[in-house]
Amino acid sequence: MERVGNLVGWQDIVREEPGKRVLLNGNEAMARGALEAGVHFVSAYPGSPSSEVTDVLAQVSENFNFYVEWSVNEIVALEGAAGASFAGLRALCTMKADGLNVAYDFLTSMNLGGCRGGLVLVVADDPFGHSSLKEYDSRFLAAAAWVPALEPSTVQEARDMVKWAFYLSEQIKGPVMVRSVTRVSHSRGIITLGDIEQTVREADFRPTRQFHTFTRFHQEVRERLKQAEELFAVSPFNFSFGAEKADLTIFTCGPGWLYAKEALTSLQLEDQVKIVRPGTPFPLPKQFILSHLNGAKKVVFIEETRPFLEEKVLAFYALHSENLGQIKFYGKATGHVSGIRGPECGEMNTDIVREVLIGLTGRPYHVPIVSLTKEEKKSLQASLPPRDYMLCPGCPHRASFWVVKSALALEGNNGIVTGDIGCYSMGAMETGFNLFNTLHCMGAGAGIAGGLSKLGAYGFKQPVVTMVGDSTFYHAVIPALINGRWNKANYLCIVLDNGVTAMTGHQPHPGSGKNAVGEEAEVVSIEEIAKSLGFMVKVSDPFRYNQAIQDVLEFIRMPGLKVLIFRQPCALAASREQKRRKVVVRQELCRGDACGCMRFCTAVWGCPANVWDKEREAAAIDPAICVGCGVCIDLCPAGAIVWEGDE
Amino acid sequence: MKVLPKGAPQLKEEVFGPGLCTACGGCVGYCPYIKAVADRVAMIYPCNCEEGQCYQVCPRTLTDLPFLRARVFGERALEFDKFNQDSLEAVLGVCRALYFARAGTAAGNFQGQYGGVTTALMRYALTTGKIDGALLVGGKPAQPRPVLATTIQQVDACTGTKYAALPTLSMLYQPTQNTSCLGIVGRPCQVTALRKMQQVGAGAAGQVKLTIGLFCFWSLGPEFIPWLIGKGLGLIDKMDITVDDVLFKKGEEAIRQNLAEIRSFIKPSCQLCYDPVAELADLAVGSTEYEADWNTLLVRSRNGEDLVKEALQQGILEVKPYPKERLPLLKQAVLAKKQRVLQALKAEKERENSRVGYLNLSPAEINFYLKL
Ligand SMILES: Cc1cc2nc3c(=O)[nH]c(=O)nc-3n(C[C@H](O)[C@H](O)[C@H](O)COP(=O)(O)OP(=O)(O)OC[C@H]3O[C@@H](n4cnc5c(N)ncnc54)[C@H](O)[C@@H]3O)c2cc1C
Ligand code: SF4
Ligand code: SF4
Ligand code: SF4
Ligand code: SF4
Ligand code: SF4
């Protein structure tokens, strides 16, 4: 039970009694919600900011006797959860926004035939892309799939909504989605623990029951949505705040509710402005919305990412404008609500709300803290280093990138590298030597490589390499490899095998030999899979720089599709397990800024533990973070970096 | 020596970019930015150093030949304004003696490419302690690799010509295993690079006391070995370019191939090479294109002369006069190459009158060749 990552209160979830108030983050609260609903089956693919929901449930599954798995990808996870639901059990499936796309084919199909036991899908969006490559709004996907969606604003609500979603799902006999965002999943709040549902259910899938996907079921889904809307209308999740009657009304969803409230309080506008907070964006309860549009003159929309609520409300207004009179709308679609990235991009915050309110009310506002002039702001911004992504000290990906960078330079002919999703997406950035030419979604690298390699007839001669993570390999690369084998593609697939799904918090994967709850599990070997598909396969160690380059060169030149596995445990995971040897710099040998090095270790190699000692004008090692991988020892041209004791 | 204040960006632009790297290895292994694997050399990451050693030692950046000749041969520098068409040195460079030569009876038991002069001399220098290591190219023609030989057995294992261009000079940046006096066998471009390295004190270049340059009109680029392997010739023991074809030998088996196909692998850098006979070496060795068991041996420096004299006395070497009727052929071959290159370089870009392309030559030298 060691692997707890950034969980704060998971132990309280198990230890504390109902009625107790505990500090949890939003993901832990959603896990608690599932527990209180008596969840039986949990499956997920990790992805920030959603991972901790299942991380926590995996920790506590022993105590509560339910099933938890990390699945190989999101669609498999959702299919598994649906199986449990078909058999009458309560099932939870969690994923990040990107994962919803992967699961979407099944979600849209399964929603037609519906399900039986409560089936709840938690999808966490990442506005601003704090830990994602794209920011987008899964409410639109819920709507397109005709799946009812709830959207919590607070940690407490996150728990309440997940719990209630099981009830709703069983009422309407279809899946229900809970949309979280980073600021809900990762912020902390006090919640009061509720009772845990204790009813024992037996899984039984009656042979006469059928869950099918046919066009005619669309009518049923439509009815289900009507039912959901009715239940939403009487749920506690839609409410208003502030002035009873007001010209100026804010419609808000998700964490926008907190920003709106804070902005109102700080501007002392509580008695002049009304806030309307629907927690059930799809299907949006029409009467609730219309009743609050009634009497409003100006309406402001505050929500995360895209104008979902805004568009729905505008559509209601369009149908009822005769009764509602003239209303002016201010939102993202209208361009009025906008952060530094402009409307519809980036994250919402209190300042954005305040700015809109000041504009509309003319209410003076004195920034309570020190106010900065424009120049001061500018110079402050200039002094802040740009946000730079960094691979961890001793990260094997850095070595892998350097190996491939070197090999492709040596091979010549402008080799192309197609990248993929994971920590190693940093291969598209400075810290990864700007190696990747393409970066899209899980599995895309191999598919693109396959396509490129078929362009010989059009004169394409460049070598093509794709770099994929181990977890990504299982998740989405295998079909692309089979396709490549079948269609005689010609590229090199390098699998970066560090033994875990590192980016999302070191969850195990099919190659780890452990499952979600820490039991021993069969290792599904990457090399065995690749070999069985008929590929030339070799395992190489990216820390052995020269050998690894030769392996890449040898494999690039072989015809057809080849698989090279760069195996080296994730530095973070490994450094937890073993004590590493200490590395030091013999500063008298260091060439520093001079030709012959040009500060290679700090300026190019870029391991955060390679640091510059300004006083001595020489490189040094930060012993606090060096994990002792020893790679910089081999790369230092002056032999200045050595193992301690070898000086 | 004229040294331009240029560095890695210019090396990339002037040498790597246009494909003019000869794979000499002079810039390889000193810093982390330039790397070689087998016969490939590349700058793997942009180093922004504006004044760099790589640029200074490269045989394809500004090369001040008169200066280097003077450094190696002192007073015997070439005086092109006094040469006429028959002058031997005008075409072949500084030359104290020219022979047909081969390994003598006391040289030892090995099979050289032709007369085995190169191996015989390196062996001898090593046994007599004149050097304690020899930088050679070992392995079979399809698996060549740089070797720092410190024993006779290791020297013997390096006989035979490998037509791939190996960046052997890179080994001068690796901490040598207790060697202090080195001998080196190299292609002419490597000899030039070595001299430039000695000028700037790069790596262990200062340790090199004996330089045997091979005659070389071209070497083959990195696509050659995969081609060889593709032809099923990956395990051949010997390769020889004859007058009209290429001969591969595997044990007793002999396979002949058309020269034209192999020519397509000639490195672009060789098309602009001004020095087919290792002008800056102590000794230059080539084939005779006449008698298969003999070499052409050109004695250039005093150092080289001393070694040859001693080797003759000891029966390590055997020589006979260079046949008079062959001399015009040799001179014509070298002359034609020099003229071709000068014209190509001149056509490429007209520069100040003492500079043609990467070469810094006296106006007299330029005139001498272009007017012949
Ligand atoms: C690329 C190349 C092209 C050549 N072209 C010509 C030519 O056009 N005309 C001509 O007369 N002679 C040419 N030679 C030289 C010739 O092939 C013989 O190497 C030379 O005559 C020495 O013969 P030997 O009998 O003394 O050889 P050996 O006693 O067998 O010794 C050969 C020596 O050359 C070294 N060597 C082998 N390959 C290389 C290499 N690629 N780079 C550096 N050192 C190497 C070996 O380490 C060994 O020490 C060329 C050599 C090379 C490497
Ligand atoms: S040994 Fe070098 S590369 Fe490895 S973690 Fe330490 S400083 Fe970084
Ligand atoms: S790579 Fe080596 S020589 Fe260069 S700065 Fe770092 S420690 Fe110094
Ligand atoms: S030799 Fe100097 S200038 Fe050239 S690449 Fe290396 S560090 Fe840069
Ligand atoms: S010719 Fe020699 S010095 Fe010049 S770039 Fe190539 S290997 Fe380096
Ligand atoms: S022809 Fe010139 S450049 Fe080419 S390998 Fe021979 S000596 Fe070097």
The second-level CATH assignment, the architecture, of A579-643 is 2-Layer Sandwich (3.30)
pLDDT-derived band at A3 (thresholds 50, 70, 90) equals very low
Rounded Cα–Cα distance for residues A392 and A576 (Å):
13
Residue B163 placed within a domain: yes
Instruction: Kindly determine whether residue B37 and residue A549, on different chains, have CB atoms separated by under 8 Å.
Output: yes
- Checking if the pLDDT of A431 tops 60, the result is yes
- From B57, B368, B34, B4, select the one nearest B200 (Cα to Cα): B57
Ligand nearest to the Cα of B45, by number: 4
pLDDT-derived band at B48 (thresholds 50, 70, 90) equals confident
pLDDT in tens, B271-282: 999 999 999 999
Which residues does a 6 A CB cutoff place in the pocket of ligand 2? Answer: A 393-394, 583, 607, 609-610, 621, 626-632
> Which of B4, B28, B43, B47 is the best mutation test for A, with the most CBs of A within 10 A?
B47
Residue B246 placed within a domain: no
Task: Tell me the nearest-neighbour CA distance from B204 into chain A, angstroms.
Answer: 14
pLDDT in tens, A278-336: 999 999 999 999 999 999 999 999 999 999 999 999 999 999 999 999 999 999 999 99
pLDDT of residue B349: 63
Residue B330 placed within a domain: yes
Q: Which atom of ligand 2 is nearest to the CA of A605?
A: 3
Determine if ligand 4 sits within 6 Å of the CB of residue B10. no
Pocket test for ligand 5, best of B10, B12, B28 (most atoms within 8 A of CB): B28
pLDDT of residue B118: 98
Tell me which of B350 and B215 has the higher pLDDT: B215
Pocket test for ligand 2, best of A610, A613, A625, A644 (most atoms within 8 A of CB): A610
Contacts of A607 in chain B (CB under 8 A): none
pLDDT-derived band at A499 (thresholds 50, 70, 90) equals confident
What Å distances lie between residue A550 and A254, A408, A466, B36, CA to CA? 53, 11, 17, 10
**Percentages of chain A per state (helix, strand, coil), in multiples of 5:** 40, 15, 40
Tell me which of B202 and B354 has the higher pLDDT: B202
What Å distances lie between residue B14 and A227, A473, B9, B18, CA to CA? 74, 42, 9, 7
Amino acid, single-letter form, for residue B147: V
Helices then strands, counting H and E runs in chain B, come out as 13, 16
Contacts of A405 in chain B (CB under 8 A): 44-45
pLDDT-derived band at B346 (thresholds 50, 70, 90) equals confident
CB contact, 8 Å: A410 with chain B?
A: yes
Total domains in chain B come to 1
Contact B184, B212 (CB under 8 A): yes
- Checking if the pLDDT of A39 tops 90, the result is yes
Contacts of A410 in chain B (CB under 8 A): 35-37, 40-42, 44
Highest mean pLDDT among A61-65, B179-183, B345-349: B179-183
pLDDT of residue A328: 97
Q: Which residue of B has its CA nearest to A409?
A: B44
CATH 3.40.50.920 domain residues, chain A: 239-381
Pick the CATH number of A239-381 from 3.40.1280.10, 2.40.50.140, 3.40.50.920, 3.90.1150.10: 3.40.50.920
pLDDT of residue B303: 96
- Checking if the pLDDT of A5 tops 60, the result is no
B139-150 mean pLDDT: 96
A229-246 mean pLDDT: 95
Lowest mean pLDDT of A1-15, A533-547, B186-200, B278-292, name the range: A1-15
Q: What are phi and psi of B302, to 5 degrees?
A: -65, -40
pLDDT in tens, A191-218: 999 999 887 899 999 988 899 999 999 9
Residue B177 placed within a domain: yes
pLDDT-derived band at A498 (thresholds 50, 70, 90) equals confident
> Which of B37, B53, B57, B172 is the best mutation test for A, with the most CBs of A within 10 A?
B37
- Find the B33 Cα to ligand 4 centroid distance in Å: 7
Residue B81 placed within a domain: yes
Of A405, A557, A639, the CB nearest to B44: A405
pLDDT in tens, B92-104: 999 999 999 999 9
pLDDT-derived band at B83 (thresholds 50, 70, 90) equals confident
Is the alpha carbon torsion for B79, B84, B85, B89 positive or negative? Answer: negative
CATH 3.40.50.970 domain residues, chain A: 12-233, 396-576
- From B69, B282, B53, select the one nearest B184 (Cα to Cα): B282
Residue with tokens 């505008």: A314
Residue with tokens 């961890």: A392
What Å distances lie between residue B319 and A2, A109, B115, B212, B305, CA to CA? 80, 90, 10, 17, 13
Task: Tell me the nearest-neighbour CA distance from B14 into chain A, angstroms.
Answer: 16
- Checking if the pLDDT of A273 tops 50, the result is yes
Lowest mean pLDDT of A120-129, A578-587, B14-23, B35-44, name the range: A578-587
What's the mean per-residue pLDDT of chain B? 93
Lowest mean pLDDT of A11-25, A359-373, A559-573, B288-302, name the range: A359-373
Instruction: Kindly determine whether residue B226 and residue A549, on different chains, have CB atoms separated by under 8 Å.
Output: no
pLDDT of residue A55: 94
Q: Whose CA is nearest to atom 3 of ligand 6?
A: B270
Q: Whose CA is nearest to atom 2 of ligand 2?
A: A632
B299-304 mean pLDDT: 96
Q: Could you give the percent of chain A with pLDDT greater than 70?
A: 93
CB contact, 8 Å: A553 with chain B?
A: yes
- From A257, A260, A246, select the one nearest A353 (Cα to Cα): A260
The CATH code for residues A12-233 is 3.40.50.970
pLDDT in tens, B114-144: 999 999 999 999 999 999 999 999 999 999 9
pLDDT in tens, A601-642: 999 999 999 999 999 999 999 999 999 999 999 999 999 999
Give bridge partners of residue B246 from the DSSP assignment. B241, B257
What's the mean per-residue pLDDT of chain A? 92
Pick the CATH number of A396-576 from 3.40.50.920, 3.40.50.970, 3.40.430.10, 3.40.50.300: 3.40.50.970
Ligand nearest to the Cα of B188, by number: 6
Give the ipTM of the model, two decimals please: 0.90
Give the list of residues 6+ apart from residue A18 with CB closer than 8 angstroms, or none.
A193, A194, A195, A196
Q: Which residues of B touch A (CB under 8 A)?
A: 7, 30-33, 35-37, 40-45, 47-49, 51-54, 175, 222, 226
pLDDT-derived band at B4 (thresholds 50, 70, 90) equals confident
Residue B245 placed within a domain: no
Give the list of residues 6+ apart from residue A213 with CB closer than 8 angstroms, or none.
A109, A110, A112, A113
ω into A385 cis (within 30 of 0): no
The H or E element spanning position B360 is strand B359-360
CB contact, 8 Å: A459 with chain B?
A: no
Lowest mean pLDDT of A234-243, A366-375, B121-130, name the range: A366-375
CB contact, 8 Å: A603 with chain B?
A: no
User: How many residue pairs from chains A and B have C-beta atoms closer than 8 A?
Assistant: 58
Residue B253 placed within a domain: no
Rounded Cα–Cα distance for residues B23 and B191 (Å):
12
What Å distances lie between residue B5 and B11, B22, B49, B301, CA to CA? 11, 22, 10, 31
Of A410, A597, A637, the CB nearest to B37: A410
Task: Tell me the nearest-neighbour CA distance from A420 into chain B, angstroms.
Answer: 22
Is the alpha carbon torsion for B359, B360, B365, B366 positive or negative? Answer: positive
Tell me which of A180 and A63 has the higher pLDDT: A180
pLDDT of residue A2: 38
pLDDT in tens, A377-423: 666 655 554 456 789 999 999 999 999 999 999 999 999 999 999 88
Pocket test for ligand 6, best of B163, B191, B241, B267 (most atoms within 8 A of CB): B267
Is the alpha carbon torsion for B308, B310, B313, B314 positive or negative? Answer: negative
CB contact, 8 Å: A604 with chain B?
A: yes
Q: Whose CA is nearest to atom 2 of ligand 4?
A: A595
- Give the residue numbers spanning the domain of B29: 8-223+265-370
| Phi-psi sector, B139: left (phi>0), alpha (psi -120 to 50), beta | left
pLDDT of residue A76: 98
- Find the B203 Cα to ligand 4 centroid distance in Å: 13
pLDDT-derived band at A29 (thresholds 50, 70, 90) equals very high
Give the list of residues 6+ apart from residue B75 with CB closer than 8 angstroms, or none.
none
Reported pTM: 0.91
pLDDT-derived band at A376 (thresholds 50, 70, 90) equals low
Give bridge partners of residue B245 from the DSSP assignment. B258
Which residues does a 6 A CB cutoff place in the pocket of ligand 5? Answer: B 11, 15, 21-28, 41, 57-60, 167, 193
- Checking if the pLDDT of A1 tops 50, the result is no
Q: Which residue of B has its CA nearest to A598?
A: B49
